[in-house]
Structure 1
């Protein structure tokens, strides 16, 4: 099995059901209170800050150059999107003071906490596979949110920049990930915990959304 086949398999097997995330459906339909969007932005401010450090830690841990490059690209993305969250919160009616003083819910903090655990305990290539499976669902959620925020809440491009970023395909990141997985396979590596990591990431992802509700 090559890298593309392996990535396709884990994405297919771990992809959440169409109705698993009802919060995104509410936002897409314009039925979610603006307070949910405020909380989403404020929680993501904590998550992105954490994930930025997590991906840098994974980059430093990875010994294979292509894997190191993949995690470095992820960290760069977190750096880019962090300033995009306050405009989203403000557009939803949150004050700048409340945004910066916001304290996260435990149910929302579980996802970044587990990613940080992966940086300490995870095998880097297994982590790459798990992240790719989760990113597929996350990108779809962001695309649906972007549509709903524009159509039903009147948000402009600045307010939607965060969700637009993740809704946009990233071919360079995909190519780097596939190259990293293939490089590992070429050395005889086989996935050991990727499905476990991915399953837990998806569970914590859905816990994040249910906590928002």
Structure 2
């Protein structure tokens, strides 16, 4: 049985790491073969995901403020990060020539934020911290790959790549907050490792759906 938050975060992240073949789109972007229309769809889907996740994290912060203050600090930081990311997303969407007015979101892409909202309403906050942190590792890697490819193959500016740079950059502060929240959950018995792993597995599955749905766009 794992006894420390750091051990638990490490083992859970490794256990939930996605199959290298689970994401069909990022390798195409990395090779420069994904069409700009698909990049535009990625930008437009994120215009729905980012504000939805921000509100879910704000709700989690409010819900956990009394019972799980360490988790509340983690979710507050996440919400602030989503707000910053949203500001950077505009330049990427503009560089792609994305047309928000005529775009219809893809169900496969919006399953992820819908589940984050479910977690915000139903799950124990320490469990959500663990599940999200494990998922963020894969997302950060995808963003680093995309940021490089947008510059190398698509000629995007630093401003247009800033959205992906933001998520690709390690965040020692967020890592510290996650560790504190998970440790508090372990110490108080409010963290259920089995539930957290289940939530994390579903998050990874919904993220795979996101990339698969985008990959199928014309």
- TM-score, normalized by length of structure 1? 0.95
Please report how far the alpha carbon of residue 85 of structure 1 lies from its aligned counterpart in structure 2 after TM superposition. Answer: 1.4
Return the alpha-carbon distance in structure 1 between the equivalents of residues 165 and 191 of structure 2.
Answer: 34
1:166 equivalent in structure 2: 167
- Work out whether residues 24 and 145 of structure 1, in 8 Å CA contact, stay in contact via their aligned partners in 2: yes
Q: Please tell me whether the aligned partners of residues 25 and 34 of structure 2 are also in contact (alpha carbons under 8 angstroms).
A: yes
DSSP-derived class of the 1:45 partner? helix
Maintained 8 Å contact 2:182/2:191: no
Shift of 1:162: 0.4
Q: For 2:204 and 2:160, locate their aligned partners in 1 and report how far apart those are by CA, in whole Å.
A: 26
Q: Distance in 1 between matches of 2:139 and 2:105?
A: 20
Query: 1:55-204 counterparts in 2 under 5 A?
Result: 55-62=57-64, 63-94=67-98, 98-100=99-101, 102-191=103-192, 192-204=194-206
User: 5+ residue gaps in structure 2?
Assistant: none
State the alpha-carbon separation in 1 of the partners of residues 90 and 78 from structure 2. 20
Superposed displacement of residue 149, structure 1 = 0.5
Change (3 A) 1:88 1:199: same
RMSD over equivalenced CA pairs, Å: 1.1
- Tell me the CA shift for residue 184 of structure 1: 1.6
Alpha-carbon distance change, 83 to 190 in structure 1, aligned in 2, over 3 angstroms: closer
Residue 39 to residue 163, structure 1, CA distance change in 2 (3 Å): same
Contact 2:124 2:191 in 1 (8 A): no
TM-score normalised to structure 2 length: 0.93
CA–CA separation in structure 1 for the residues paired with 2:13 and 2:111: 21
Structure 1: runs of 5 or more not aligned:
none
- Kindly state the Cα deviation for residue 11 of structure 1 after the two structures are TM-superposed: 0.2
Correspondence 1:47-62 to 2 at 5 A: 47-62=49-64
Query: Any idea what SS the aligned residue of 1:28 has?
Result: helix
Map 1:34-45 to 2 at 5 A: 34-45=36-47
